[in-house]
Amino acid sequence: MRVEQLELSEWESALPSDGYEVFHRPEALEVVADHTDAEMKLFGGFKGQQPIALLPVFVQRKSVGTAVTSPPPSLGIPRLGPILMPTSPKRRKQEKVNNEFTEKVLQQVGTDLDLDRRLAEVGVESPMAEKVVDRLDVDSRLTLFRMECNAAYGDPRPYSWGNLQVEPNFTYFLDLEGREAEEVKKSFSKSLRREIGDAEDLDVTVETEGLSGAREIYRATQRRFAEQDEPFGLTWEYVRDLFEALSAEDRARAYVARDGGGEYLSGITALYSNDHAYFWQGGAKAIYEGTAVNSFIHWRLIEDLVEDPPVESVTKYDLMGANTERLCRYKAKFGADLVPYYVVESPGAAMNVAKRAYKLVQ
């Protein structure tokens, strides 16, 4: 296998038709790169001219050391990590691709970081590394590695074998493939169906709106975090640029609920990969005439996914929130499947301190 660093246009050409997250999209990565102080590196693994693996990483250098992350922190990106596209369906061949790509990427990143350290000692800015060291020095106190993997990436063992810590996290996928809207609703809990019905009987409308709707959702989310005395790191400039970039490709929608007088009640910003719709932002608690309206917003979004999806190949709704107990009690009402994904990071107590220094605890 040959591993190369790619330009964004080459990355776009190498993307498969499925099996990746919305933030793997080139238009999303470009916005992310513009709004982080980390350097984006796009790795591609090739068999001849055929791309068989991809991984975006972000390298953040500070006085205390260097962090390599995928995704970068504090930008509301739930998952990123590797994409595997082996040409063979055989398990042995798939594992070989995964093992080789993991090893070579860690070698390449390790080379860059090792060269950075050596050149920094003599005051020289680092060029692209020409030589590969054995592997990323994950035991170094100067280097932190953290990755939240693509949900389709089911085999993180090579990272564990490379002395990195691997733990499962979870999300909820509501499967919509081949189902009618009413069939989906019947799988909801009784209380969720009642909330939807109560909202439908009120003078509440839910419509998709453009950038102005996304901004109202952003502001409501920001207020909700402030009320709960929790940090909210997303800037409007970042959210605006991401929404504009993705909506230009029909990959972002703002669902806004309003009362009969047109007043904002609540909203959800949804993003779309080729496989999934994502509940990305919004959903701040909203009660109107005794009825919670967020369930109605989710339902309108789901109806569109069944009847008029912005991306025809989308078959699942990612509800998020499966790692927070208080949110699970609500999300479980949708009858969605609990799906694992993997978090890979440098181990040890020193890394816990480093994560706070790099603001990796979101």
| Count of CA atoms in the C-beta half-sphere (13 A) of 269 | 24
83-93 residue pLDDT tens: 999 888 899 99
Which one has a higher pLDDT value, 82 or 129?
82
The model's confidence at residue 24, banded by pLDDT at 50, 70 and 90, is: very high
Pick the CATH number of 172-339 from 3.40.50.2000, 3.40.630.30, 3.30.70.3270, 3.40.50.11690: 3.40.630.30
- Can you give the pLDDT at residue 125? 41
Q: Residue 62: pLDDT band by 50, 70, 90 thresholds?
A: confident
Q: What is the average pLDDT value for the chain, to the nearest integer?
A: 88
Supply the pLDDT for residue 161. 86
Higher-scoring residue by pLDDT: 181, 67: 181
Indicate the pLDDT class of residue 131, thresholds 50, 70 and 90. very low
**Two tokens at 330?**
């609500």
Which tops the pLDDT comparison, 204 or 140? 204
Q: Any bridge partners for residue 46, and if so which?
A: 2, 51
User: What is residue 120's predicted lDDT score, i.e. its pLDDT?
Assistant: 44
- Say yes or no: do domains 2-164+346-357 and 172-339 share a fold: yes
* Domain range annotation of the chain: 2-164+346-357, 172-339
The answer on pLDDT for 158 being more than 60 is: yes
The answer to whether the CB of 45 falls within 8 A of the CB of 79 is no
Above 90 in pLDDT, residue 10?
yes
Q: Average pLDDT of 232-238?
A: 94
Q: Is 211 exposed, middle or buried (0-12, 13-18, 19+ CB in 10 A)?
A: middle
C-beta atoms surrounding 46 within 10 Å: 15
The pLDDT assigned to 356 comes to 64
Average pLDDT over every residue of 292-306 = 96
CB atoms within 10 A of CB 184: 20
pLDDT of residue 147: 95
Instruction: List Cβ neighbours of 293 (8 Å cut-off, separation of 6 or more).
Output: 199, 204, 257, 265, 266, 286, 287
Question: Looking at the predicted structure, is the pLDDT value of residue 263 above 60?
Answer: yes
CATH of domain 2-164+346-357: 3.40.630.30
Q: Which tokens hold the place of 116? A: 């950075």
CA distances from 336 to 80, 100, 139, 172, 236 (A): 22, 34, 39, 6, 31
22 pLDDT higher than 70: yes
Q: Residues of the chain with pLDDT > 90: what percent?
A: 72
Model confidence band, residue 122 (pLDDT cutoffs 50, 70, 90): very low
Q: How confident is the model at residue 349 (pLDDT cuts 50, 70, 90)?
A: low
pLDDT band at residue 143 under the 50/70/90 scheme: confident
Q: Does the pLDDT value for residue 238 go beyond 70?
A: yes
The percent of residues above 70 in pLDDT, for the chain, comes to: 86
d(CA 265, CA 285): 9
CA-closest candidate to residue 56, choices 66, 65, 46, 69: 69
In whole angstroms, what is the distance from residue 133 CA to residue 281 CA? 41
Residue 338 has what pLDDT?
96
How large is the angle between the packed helices 190-200 and 294-307, nearest 10 degrees?
A: 90
Question: What residues contact 150, with CB distance under 8 A and at least 6 apart?
Answer: 19, 20, 21, 24, 79, 80, 81, 82, 83, 341
Q: Which two tokens stand for residue 355?
A: 């994560």
Lowest mean pLDDT of 57-61, 137-141, 149-153, name the range.
137-141
Is 98 exposed, middle or buried (CB count within 10 Å of its CB: 0-12, 13-18, 19+)?
buried
pLDDT of the residue at 289: 93
Rounded to a whole number of angstroms, the distance between the first and last alpha carbons of the chain is: 35
Tell me what pLDDT residue 45 has. 95
Instruction: Name the nearest CA neighbour of 192 among 40, 332, 358.
Output: 332
CB under 8 Å, gap of 24 or more: what pairs does 46-50 form?
46/1, 46/2, 46/3, 46/4, 47/1, 47/2, 47/87, 50/87
Q: What is the pLDDT of residue 134?
A: 33
Q: Give 265-286 pLDDT, tens digit per residue.
A: 999 999 999 999 999 999 888 9
In the structure, what pLDDT confidence band is assigned to residue 67 with cuts at 50, 70 and 90?
confident
1 Cβ contact list (under 8 Å, min separation 6): 45, 46, 47, 52, 53, 97, 100, 101, 104
